[in-house]
Amino acid sequence: MLSARSLFQEILDNDESFRLFCSIAASGEAQGGWENGRIAALVPDSRRLLAPKIARHGADEDKHGRIFHALLRKRGLEPVEVPHETDYTMLLERHGIGLAHEKLRADEPLTEQDIITYLAHSRVTEQRAADQMDMLRKYFGHHPEVGRAVKMISNDEDNHLAYCHEELLRFAYAGHGRAIQRTLRECALVEIGVYRDVSLAVMEHMGRILRWSPTKARTLAAGIHGLHGFERVGGWRRMVSLKMPQRRDALGGPATSAPEFA
């Protein structure tokens, strides 16, 4: 029976598909680490207290990238070049979601609206990441090869999501509520389209590697389109709601290390 669990197991069991999966994941995490590092360096004076949390966010993303590279090394595999059509973070940036890299490469301080844009973008994308890692943790949290990595990354993603909720609510209480909701909605509606396109591209590459039948490929594509339809109708709303998290000050301390994946 075709399921998320059986699909990932198939990817995990094949070196070439596993190599592509880890390469895509590591690339996205590395870009996220760079973006957060630059944002932390450019935080306006009025929000300097946020800088250590943003830097912690970036350090976690860098750590995740190292974890995926370590998983490759354990199999004696090298990363592969990430196909452009599977580069989720790059495609979001090209669609105008988040802060433009041109802005982040400059040395001009960001504005408060820029920080809201960053947090709203993170609120949406961290929801996606947390959902994905929760699924992987459910099915592969005790897997001898990837279980520890999955649990560590999943915990970090939950922290990132909690941090986004808490900091956006601080801005909302300071009078930025309408701007936050507008930005969240714009981000979510673009993200669900990018996620659909990237998912289709990834499955196409995996299908070639794993030699899926046309029927299986069509079934998976239909499932991806079905999810997008659900999200387009109203599922996107889960990505824009805000509530005070149980994990308060989730990024208030130093990043946790992962020496076993060094």
At 61, which CATH number? 1.20.1260.10
Interaxial angle between packed helices 4-13 and 112-140, expressed in degrees from 0 to 180 and rounded to the nearest 10: 90
The verdict on residue 257 lying in a domain is no
Q: What angle do CA 214, 216, 217 make, to 5 degrees?
A: 65
pLDDT tops 60 at residue 134 = yes
pLDDT tops 80 at residue 255 = no
The verdict on residue 189 lying in a domain is yes
The verdict on residue 138 lying in a domain is yes
For 44, phi then psi, to 5°, come to -65, 155
Q: Residue 107: which H helix or E strand, with range?
A: none
Q: State which residues form the domain around 138.
A: 15-247
Q: CB of 130 within 8 A of CB of 161?
A: yes
Only one residue has tokens 């991806």, namely 224
Q: How confident is the model at residue 259 (pLDDT cuts 50, 70, 90)?
A: low
**pTM score over 0.75:** yes
Overall domain count for the chain: 1
Q: How confident is the model at residue 261 (pLDDT cuts 50, 70, 90)?
A: low
pLDDT tens by residue, 142-197: 999 999 999 999 999 999 999 999 999 999 999 999 999 999 999 999 999 999 99
Residue 254: predicted pLDDT: 77
DSSP notation for 67-93: HHHHHHHHTT----PPPGGG-HHHHHH
The verdict on residue 254 lying in a domain is no
Average pLDDT, the chain: 95
Q: What angle do CA 149, 197, 159 make, to 5 degrees?
A: 35
pLDDT tens by residue, 228-243: 999 999 999 999 999 9
- DSSP 8-state symbol, 256: P
pLDDT tops 70 at residue 1 = no
pLDDT tens by residue, 109-133: 999 999 999 999 999 999 999 999 9
Q: How confident is the model at residue 89 (pLDDT cuts 50, 70, 90)?
A: very high
The verdict on residue 62 lying in a domain is yes
The verdict on residue 7 lying in a domain is no
The verdict on residue 56 lying in a domain is yes
The verdict on residue 187 lying in a domain is yes
